[in-house]
Amino acid sequence: MAYTTVAFVGATGGAGTTRTALEAAVALGADGADVAVLDAAYATQGLGDYLPGRLDPDLTTLVTDRPDDPLAVGFVEVDVETPGAVVCCPADAPFERLARAKTVDAARAFERRIEEAAATADHVLVDVPPVAANQALAATTACERVCLVSPGSDRGADATNRLRERIADVGAAVDVVAVVGGSDDRETADVVVPSTDAAFAGVLSEERYGRAVADLASRLVDREVASVGGSGGLFGGVADRVRR
């Protein structure tokens, strides 16, 4: 049985967690799944950089001031055409609301938002910073699967070990370690996602990159995800329709 909810947890800042989660969502969307991506990385708010238009209401609003509104009012469609829908609920907030969004009550509301998304989407992917705040803890423990995203460097290896222990301390476990860039023979990696110079949605245009992200998605949701990327791939036609 396929898993629905996955936390993509950064082992350290700058690991590439946001893009890896989004590319996995696009790979799943290209395979026909409806996917929602939620933003727990309140401090960096990087998810919004990949989205068009106004980000209002954002996710922090929906766990603080408007907890009874449907989550769908905060969804923004990712600007790429795939058979399955890919939507995001980003964080885009002033400091005052960010502080309120990190409280215990708001973290509980975040857990409910994950459940709400899972009721309608085939898969829910959550962009999570290194576990050090309430919303990151809530996302990590509420999701069925945890992917630890690490940069391909010695710094990344050390951070992976620290975060694996921290995640165990909160009663969760790391299911898959994804190393972004670096050596293909990194011992701690379950999947190595190669570096890419492609713009966002590179899974639809680069064969090696698309194959690695599809493999990562397959491992995380426990279902076969068709390889994407390259003009000769199964979803090569999808790449021709990318608008961003």
The 10s digit of each residue's pLDDT in 219-232 is 999 999 988 876 54
Residue range 10-30: average pLDDT?
95
User: In the prediction, which pLDDT does 243 show?
Assistant: 34
Above 90 in pLDDT, residue 116?
A: yes
Mean pLDDT lowest for which of 11-15, 17-21, 132-136, 147-151? 11-15
DSSP 187-222: TT-SEEE----SPS-GGGT-HHHHHHHHHHHHHHHT
Single pTM value for the model: 0.92
Above 80 in pLDDT, residue 240?
A: no
Give the CA radius of gyration of the chain.
17
User: In the prediction, which pLDDT does 52 show?
Assistant: 85
Interacting residues of 62 by C-beta distance below 8 A, sequence separation 6+: 69, 71, 73, 74, 89, 109, 113
Mean pLDDT lowest for which of 105-114, 149-158, 211-220? 149-158
Above 70 in pLDDT, residue 77?
A: yes
What is the set of domains in the chain, with CATH numbers?
5-239 (3.40.50.300)
